[in-house]
Amino acid sequence: MKEVMQAVAEDVILYNNRSFLIPLFLIALLFLWVTEKDRKLRVVLLYVVAAVAAVFLCPLYAWVGMKIDADVYYRVLWSLPIGILVCYSAVKLMAYFRAAVSKALVFVLAVLVIVMNGDLVYTNSFHIRATNAYHIPQQVIDVADALRLDNYKPIAVLPAELLTHFHQYTADVFTPYGRNVVEPSWSFQDELYDAMEADKTAYDVAEVARCARNHNCAFVVLSCAKQMNGSMEEQGYFLFRFVQGYFIYMDYNYYWVFKEQGLLDADVIEAGG
């Protein structure tokens, strides 16, 4: 249990980071505990919050939670309405003063404390200027639009760099694996993913084609940034489209079956014919 509580303490320290968010939250909680008289608000803002905090710090609960996934246990802290408590405390403190000057002073101080307690989110390296309304890479959208069929939801295998955002945009194309395969902590293994990503400079086309058929993939998307050891055409595929630096190949086996069933769009029929 000692190791568990050390991990909990590390989560709290990392959550607080270089700010004074946790102390500010505790001050607001104590202030409301003394001053708040409304029973309903006390239940929502005090008792429930205190219970959540106690559960997070509970050694037994922490041990179980970390057994499930130690990397995301800290997210229990997300259920604490820290922003609501701090802002409500500031407003309640303003209400104690009658003079407008005093209210304004409390307001300015509260704003300064909140501003000093954080960073401008747009300075974070993970934030980039949006290029479209979906706020995801444009090549993901273009590849997804090229793969979508009006009458059928095909299965397509994608390069790893497209997986994270692909299903944020569309659910009309299935994939044999998703974001789970690119998270090392989940230890997900798949022979098709290995065939696609084992070599960072080239594709073993024969192996990719074999694994793709084992996973019932009608489409195979390959990056032009990597060389191809072999030819997809020799494996029974045809080049359906080239989009944003990605070759989209379709398996002829699926092409003929889908065509006979009337599931293919006109542009797919034209490309395969």
- Hey, where are the domains in the chain? 2-123, 138-272
Pairwise pLDDT comparison (101 vs 273), residue with the higher score: 101
pLDDT above 70 coverage of the chain, percent: 96
Residue 143: the pLDDT is: 94
Residue 88: the pLDDT is: 92
DSSP 21: H
Residue 217: the pLDDT is: 94
Q: Which amino acid is at 123?
A: T
For the chain, the first-to-last Cα distance in angstroms comes to 66
Sequence-distant (6+) residues with CB within 8 A of 6 are none
Average predicted confidence (pLDDT) for the chain: 87
Residue 242: the pLDDT is: 93
Q: Could you tell me where the DSSP H helices lie in 189-265? A: 191-197, 205-214, 252-260
Average pLDDT over residues 59-87: 86
Paired tokens of 208: 């990719």
Using one digit for the tens of pLDDT, what is the confidence trace for 212-244? 999 999 999 999 999 999 899 999 999 989 999
pLDDT at residue 96 is higher than 70: yes
Starting at the earlier edge strand, list the strands of the sheet with 246-251. Answer: 156-157, 219-223, 246-251, 237-243
Of the listed ranges 85-89, 104-108, 117-121, the least confidently predicted one is 117-121
Cα Rg, the chain, nearest whole Å:
27
pLDDT at residue 253 is higher than 70: yes
Q: Give the pairing of strands 219-223 and 246-251.
A: antiparallel
pLDDT at residue 184 is higher than 70: no
Cβ 159 vs Cβ 223: under 8 Å:
yes
Distance of CA 111 to the CA centre of its chain: 30
Residue 185: the pLDDT is: 65
Paired tokens of 187: 């230890």
In terms of pTM, does the model score above 0.85?
Answer: no
State the CB neighbour count (10 A cutoff) for residue 228. 14
Q: Which amino acid is at 166?
A: F
CA-to-CA distance for 121 and 130, rounded, in angstroms?
14
Q: Give CA torsion, residues 63, 64, 68, 70, to 10 deg.
A: -20
Cβ 258 vs Cβ 264: under 8 Å:
yes
Cβ 166 vs Cβ 181: under 8 Å:
no
Residue (of 127, 124, 115, 126) closest to 21 by Cα position: 115
Using one digit for the tens of pLDDT, what is the confidence trace for 117-171? 777 777 776 677 777 888 888 999 999 999 988 888 999 999 989 988 999 999 9
pLDDT at residue 272 is higher than 80: no
Of the listed ranges 85-94, 203-212, 213-222, 255-264, the least confidently predicted one is 255-264
Q: Is 187 left (phi over 0), alpha (psi -120 to 50) or beta?
A: left
Q: Phi first, then psi: what are they for 186, rounded to 5°?
A: -85, -10
pLDDT at residue 179 is higher than 70: yes
CA-to-CA distance for 190 and 176, rounded, in angstroms?
9
